[in-house]
Amino acid sequence: LEELNLAGPAAPAREAPQIEAEAAQLLELLGYEPSSMDAICARSGLGADAASALLLKLELNGLIEVLPGGQYQRVR
């Protein structure tokens, strides 16, 4: 239960994940509307490989989700 953060009210509050500055900038650019990889690359100036790596980090930290059709969306 502790690993899943389901230990109950006595469990410490979950802290916001720490992400690198470049990932934080991409998160700000992403916004809450679904965006394609092409749109993300155009807004950020990143190549697809760099954008993909940062998007994966953001997804693993629970900050974005991948939607059907290769769209990305910020969730918090």
Please tell me whether residue 51 adopts helix, strand or coil conformation: helix
Residue with token string 């953060």: 5
| Residues of the chain above pLDDT 70, percent | 78
If one counts every other C-beta atom within 10 angstroms of the C-beta of residue 2, the result is 8
Model confidence, pTM: 0.75
What pLDDT does 51 receive?
96
Q: What is the mean pLDDT of the chain?
A: 86
Question: How many C-alpha atoms does 3 have within 13 Å on its Cβ side?
Answer: 0
Measured CA to CA, the distance from residue 71 to residue 76 in angstroms comes to: 16
pLDDT tier for residue 7 given thresholds of 50, 70 and 90: low
Residue 13 has pLDDT above 60, yes or no: no
